[in-house]
Structure 1
Amino acid sequence: MKPISTKSHPVWQFAFALRALRESAGNPTLARIAEETSVSISSLSQALGGDRVPTWRVTSAVVDTCGGDLTTWRAFWEELQRNVRNPLELPPEVDDEGRNLSAEQRREVAWPRVWDRWKRTGIITPPFRAQSELDLIMALRCLREFRSLSLRDLGRASNYAHSTFGLVLSGGKPVTTQFLGAFLEACRVHTPGEWIAWLQLLATAVPKQRASAEVAMMRKMGYAPRRQK
């Protein structure tokens, strides 16, 4: 089976998470999973390899056999469907003024549409994919504005000083997994599926944080990663 890339497409990120769950369960063979669930080996292999978007039947077969929490994984799977259907939230560039905007400015222009989606669905997932740490910071700013929180509000709701939030959101300090967790808590983002989506964004945008973000994702999915001997 080909190696999984966790930094590119949400389908591959989902496959990585499935493979991590399978590993935590002792790597049951595909034949065993197929026998216990009546799902074909080829479908299981494609899901674990990131070759296609898996159906919920295939996903639940892996999760149930490997002892994962079906409710948490259902939320994770539904988030994957949304990401695949609506991968970006950038506004169309229909006039000369729009074409002259920087990437950062165009993301700011898109915020009201993102807020409408968050209000309509109640699901606070990232507004767009991140190719750089600046994209991640823009997404965090979008969330902060949506919640109408000052830097002092963020500080009061967490163990970080308000000045630290200011530095990170201005690009003066890097975004870490721990900071992201505190930021999401302060912004009242609570469900595992939402957290996993934001952690995926962090893993893509800040490669140095990928390992810790993946550990945090595993914990949000209901199991502890295996300790290194």
Structure 2
Amino acid sequence: MARPMNPLPNTDTHTADPHDRKLVDFAHGLRTLREKAGNPSLATMSQRSGVCIALLSGAHGGHKMPTWRTVEGYVHACGTDSAGWRAKWERLQLAQRTARARSGHASIVRNWARLRYITPPQWPMNEAELAEILDQARRFRGLSLRDMAHRSVGFSHHTYGAVLRGDRPVTADILLAILHACGAGPGEVRRWMQVLARVRPTEELRVRSLLAKMPAPRASTRHRAGPPGRMSGGRGGSMGGDNFRGAPGGRK
């Protein structure tokens, strides 16, 4: 007979946050699956799945995100098809990553406030995280989507919204337009463009083309963000000219 499982973490306290609650809900689902399978012992489940007892116990513990291999073995040991659980596990993984990203975003914003200019974070990002952090930059500058469309000609507020929500990809042209609207300086633009080239290698050639049109950064000058709508730097004191529009032609 299987030993009783330890109680799940309490999500009703003021210290519980949303991603912890989702983790506990996922663990509860695994426990329910095990009970429906006749409550096999962890030793039996380990033999059936090839997953060690400690990992199986941790999967329904509700304290730590289990790997897909562990979940797959757990579900298989309960005699259930794992296909439906893959989507559940991926949703939980996304919630966990989002929660960590929000925590990281707070430190980024504090850094922007301290330095007075917007620079990309140092850790590796994916496309979704890049869009989220760019949206943080927009909010940090106090800009609405319509403000951005007015300050950086070439894209409509609908397009900015779709990109910053992650519904459309971040391209080199729209990244330049977003940074222009946020008042980023040339040094900041170069850093963000380099990040984009890493995140989306298909944009690397366009990134190089746009950077080639920019004035070379001055080693002795530290660029700080100017007022929204202008990018300080260059011989004329402004980088809001044709070379730094979000995209040629009309709004998109």
What TM-score, normalized to structure 1? 0.50
Between 1 and 2, higher relative CO (CA 8 Å, sep ≥ 6) is seen in: 1
Q: Which has the larger radius of gyration?
A: 2
Higher helix share: 1
